[in-house]
Structure 1
Amino acid sequence: MTAKHRKASRILLLDGQDRLLLFRGSDPVVPDVTWWFTPGGGLEPGESTREAAVRELAEETGLRGVDLGPVVAYDTVSYSFREQRYEQEQWFHLARTVETVLDHSRMGRDEHAELLAARWWTVEELGETAETIYPIGLADFVGRLLAEGPPVTPVRL
């Protein structure tokens, strides 16, 4: 199976208590396997990572007044979803919000069906959970961001 190449913008959204927003999802083909992941999604043609992050946050969270910061990390992932292979380049923006009540009404039907839960996590909870969190090493990275601030140049996860 040939992999589709995709570019995505992801958001490390922190609230006023330094908790990180993650969504729980699954692949409809393998519904018993779940994982937690950051908000975000694919770039539309001609869209920058910043523009995609703003659009995706509005669609997925409904939050207003989010302070969208710089790209702090990037990586490339390979995964399968709905029996299609993907190679995805993704960039992670750091963002802050004081609002924590989410509105998923602007999500697409497919996205809404695949979103099982949303939760604000502390770094400690991320580090202690046995659940699958993507990207791997997220707890350590967010801990470093909180302690040291954004890196001068984005780091590879």
Structure 2
Amino acid sequence: MTEEHGAGSDPGTTSLGPDWSVGPDGVRHRRAARVILLDDVGRVLLVRGHDSDQPERSWWFTVGGGIDPGESEVDAALRELREEAGIALAPDDLVGPVVTRAGIFEFVAETCRQDEVFFLARVPAGHEPSRAGWTEIERNVLDELRWLSTAELRAQPLEFFPTALADVVDSLVDGWDGTVRHLGTEHDDGDEHERGTSGVRGAGDIRCPEPPDPEEIGA
């Protein structure tokens, strides 16, 4: 992530990183694997981050990131969990994917689309995550790791993604029913959506009946 991508520059260069490619629509795109990590009192481990171009805005999201070439979704999820939170789990510790979605957002002045699969995992309460594995780039845009209950998540003032996250966590606390929940396409733009009375921001977007293309996300 050393080269900035601006208007009129080579579309093959970007400050996002090499795992982002330009799609036929000109939008940066990547596949990603994420982990809904719960402890045994029902809290979810979340990351708070911000856009370097919008330092005044921050939001919560699950641990995870891009899938490297030749890497499986499970391997990517485990690697991201180890790198971002210092938590080492085995493939059998992951359940799912339990959720899929596509997120469209602006980041470092670029429009991006990320097709995501979410796995479920559990650890005992009291497990303290570590930021020791954060890269310098991550330290510039990531702010903290925190365990939050869904009540705390809904009550706090910041955005969170997916916008259905609190509802999803509530549905998984007692176990996964084996049904993959497709959230469709969400526009993760703080200017376009507002929180509803349920505490889930942009609830209209998550009722999209069309799941992402299974071939595209590898689900």
1:1-157 mapped onto 2 (5 Å cutoff):
2-65=26-89, 67-98=93-124, 100-147=127-174, 149-157=175-183
SS in 1 for 2:102: strand
Question: Which consecutive unaligned segments of at least 5 residues does structure 1 have?
Answer: none
2-structure distance, mates of 1:127, 1:32? 20
1-structure distance, mates of 2:113, 2:29? 5
Aligned-pair Cα RMSD in Å: 1.6
2-structure distance, mates of 1:64, 1:44? 18
In the other structure, the counterpart of 2:203 is none
Question: Which consecutive unaligned segments of at least 5 residues does structure 2 have?
Answer: 1-6, 8-25, 184-219
How many matched pairs?
A: 156
Identity %: 37
2-structure distance, mates of 1:145, 1:9? 18
How far apart are residue 32 of structure 1 and its match? 0.2
2-structure distance, mates of 1:110, 1:145? 32
2-structure distance, mates of 1:106, 1:138? 25
Structure 1 contact 25–116 (Cα < 8 Å) conserved = yes
| Counterpart residue identity of residue 151, structure 2 | E
CA separation of 1:94 and 1:114: change in aligned 2, threshold 3 A = same
SS in 2 for 1:118: strand
2-structure distance, mates of 1:152, 1:17? 22
Structure 1 contact 12–39 (Cα < 8 Å) conserved = yes
How far apart are residue 102 of structure 1 and its match? 1.7
TM-score by length of 1: 0.92
The structure with the larger Rg is 2
How far apart are residue 65 of structure 1 and its match? 4.1
